[in-house]
Amino acid sequence: MSRKQVLRPEPGRGHDPAHDRATAPPADDTGCPILHVDMDAFFASVELLERPELKGTPVIIGATGARGVVLSATYEARRFGVHSAMPMTRARRLCPRAVVIPPSHGKYSEVSKSVMEIFHAITPEVEPISSDEAFLDVGGALRRLGPPAAIAAMIRAQVAERHGITCSVGVASSKFVAKLASRHCKPDGLLVVPADGVVEFLHPLPVAALWGVGERTEQALVRLGIRTVGDLAHVPPATLRREFGAVGEHLAALAWGRDDRRVTPHAPDKSIGAEETFSHDVDDPEAIRRELLRLSERVAARLRAGGHIGRTVSVKLRRADFTTITRSRTLREPTDVAKEIYATACELFAAAGLERVRLRLVGVRVENLRPAAAATRQLGLGERETGWREAEMAMDKAARRFGPEAVRPASLVRPPFDGMDL
C-alpha cells in the first residue's frame, strides 16, 4: 500500500535506524503517537542466544510431556503450522525435525524486565500486555526524541543492541491499528499506518483481524457474506445490532478505525500464581503436596522479586474429568514466605477432599497484594521471628547467581513432573 511503511534491515546490516530510513520512503506519522512493540518469537529468541547453532532451524519451546503445550516457536517451525498454545504432540507431528527446548522462565523474565526498562526510558506511558509486548504513547516524547517512526526505530535498535533479539513495531493513531500494524510487519519490521490511511489499511484485512472476532463470531459473519473488514464496514449498523447486539456496534466502530482507548500504564498486579499440568493424572497425595511445595516456592520468589506481599492464598485443583475446584483462605498477616504459602495450600488441599482423587493440574496463587515495603508485621506476645524469609531471600540470591535449581528443599531434589507452567 502506498500509505504505509514497512521497514526491515537487509541481511547482515543489523538494526541501523539510519539504514532503515535510507532504504524506505518516509511515511507520514503525524498524529500517530501510539506504538505497539511485539518481540519476535520471544522465548525462542532468548533461548537461541545460548544456542546460536540453532538459528535458522525449526525450534520449539515447551515441555516435552504428553500434555505439554508450545510456549514459542521460531518462524522456521511456524512455517509447518506450529504455533503457541498448540499441544506439543501435535507440534511434533507437524514438524518432527524441530529441536524442542524446555522453557527457562527465569531467563525470559530477566530479558522482559530489561526490555520494559528501554520502553520506560522513552515514556512513562507504557502499558505492558504480556512479557513480550506493550503499547507506548510517545506523544510526550516527540520534542525530545523526534517523530514516532524515529522513536520506533530507536527502540528496535536498542533491543537488538542490548539483547541480540528482534522486535516488530506498529505505529498508528490508535491501539487497535498499532497492534495490527506490528503483526502485519512481523518478523523484525516497522510499519507506520498514517492517520489518514487507516481505512485503506484495514478494509482489505480478513474480518478475523478485528478484536472481539473469535471463531464462532467469524463463522456467523461469514454466513452473512462478511469476509473482510471492508465488508463489515458497509453493513448497516441496525443489521449488526440485530445479529450481534452491542458486540456488533463495537465491531462496526473498529472496522472504520475508531478506537479511543488510551494507553494505560501498567496497573499493580492483583495476584501472582503458578500452576502445573501433569504428564499423567496423579492420585498420590504426597506427590501432590511436593508439587504444591514447588509451586509455593515459585510464587513466593515472584512475590519477593516484584516487591509484593499477599494476604490470600488459593489453590486450583483440576480433576481428570476437567472439573476444576478452587479453595482460598485469607491469612492474618500478608506474606511472601514460601513456607507459609505452602502450609496454607496443603490445608486447602486437604479441606477439598481430593487427596485420593486423580488430578491433572494443581495451582497455587496469592492474592490481595500490597507493596512489601509499606507493610510491617506485628509479632504476637511471645512470638519470635522465624528467619524463614531471610533464608528464602538467600535462596533467591543463590538462584540468580547459579540458576533456579541451585538451592531447593530436600523433598524437591528429584525429577519434577514433566508438565507446563502456565
pLDDT band of residue 388 (cuts 50, 70, 90) is: low
Residues flagged as binding site for Mg(2+): 38, 132
List active site positions.
133
60 has pLDDT over 60? yes
Is residue 172 within 8 Å of 178, Cβ to Cβ? Answer: yes
pLDDT of residue 216: 84
Query: Cα(323)–Cα(354) distance, rounded to whole angstroms?
Result: 12
109 has pLDDT over 70? yes
Q: What is the mean pLDDT of residues 198-224?
A: 90
Q: What is the mean pLDDT of residues 239-262?
A: 89
Verdict on whether the full-model pTM lies above 0.95: no
203-255: in CATH 3.30.365.10: no
Is residue 67 within 8 Å of 17, Cβ to Cβ? Answer: no
pLDDT of residue 19: 39
Query: Cα(168)–Cα(133) distance, rounded to whole angstroms?
Result: 10
Query: Cα(54)–Cα(57) distance, rounded to whole angstroms?
Result: 6
pLDDT of residue 395: 60
Any idea what DSSP says for residue 49?
A: H
Over the stretch 367-381, which tens digit does the pLDDT of each residue have? 999 888 755 544 444
Q: What is the mean pLDDT of residues 210-220?
A: 85
pLDDT band of residue 85 (cuts 50, 70, 90) is: confident
Q: Which of 111, 143, 149 is nearest to 25 (CA)?
A: 149
Is residue 300 within 8 Å of 341, Cβ to Cβ? Answer: yes
Q: Which ranges in the chain are annotated with CATH 3.30.1490.100?
A: 271-421
pLDDT of residue 212: 79
Element (H, E) at 116: helix 105-122
8 has pLDDT over 60? no
Any idea what DSSP says for residue 415?
A: P
For residues 230 and 373, the model is more confident at 230
Taking all residues of the chain, what is their mean pLDDT, rounded to a whole number?
84
pLDDT of residue 384: 46
Query: Cα(13)–Cα(15) distance, rounded to whole angstroms?
Result: 7
- In the chain, the amino acid numbered 190 is L
Q: What is the mean pLDDT of residues 199-217?
A: 90
Between the alpha carbon of residue 288 and those of residues 250, 275, 354, the distances in Å are 45, 12, 10
Q: Indicate the SS3 state at residue 213.
A: coil
Q: Which fold has domain 271-421?
A: Dna Ligase; domain 1 (3.30.1490)
Percentage of the chain exceeding pLDDT 90: 59
Percentage of the chain exceeding pLDDT 70: 81
For 173-208, give the DSSP string: SSHHHHHHHHHHT-SS-EEE--GGGHHHHHTTSBGG
Query: Cα(281)–Cα(357) distance, rounded to whole angstroms?
Result: 9
Q: Determine whether 203 is exposed, middle or buried from the number of CB atoms within 10 Å of its CB (0-12, 13-18, 19+).
A: middle
Over the stretch 142-186, which tens digit does the pLDDT of each residue have? 999 999 999 999 999 999 999 999 999 999 999 999 999 999 999
Q: Determine whether 382 is exposed, middle or buried from the number of CB atoms within 10 Å of its CB (0-12, 13-18, 19+).
A: exposed
Length of the chain: 422
Query: So what's the architecture of 1-194 in CATH?
Result: 2-Layer Sandwich (3.30)
C-alpha cell at 372: 512489601
Is residue 35 within 8 Å of 138, Cβ to Cβ? Answer: yes
C-alpha cell at 375: 507493610
Provide the terminal-to-terminal Cα distance of the chain, rounded to the nearest Å. 39
Q: Which stretch of 11-20, 43-52, 216-225 has the lowest confidence by average pLDDT? A: 11-20
Residues flagged as binding site: 38, 132
Which residues is 35 bridged to in the sheet? 136, 171
Query: Cα(342)–Cα(337) distance, rounded to whole angstroms?
Result: 9
Over the stretch 19-47, which tens digit does the pLDDT of each residue have? 343 344 567 999 999 999 999 999 999 99
Positive or negative torsion for Cα 345, 346, 347, 350: positive
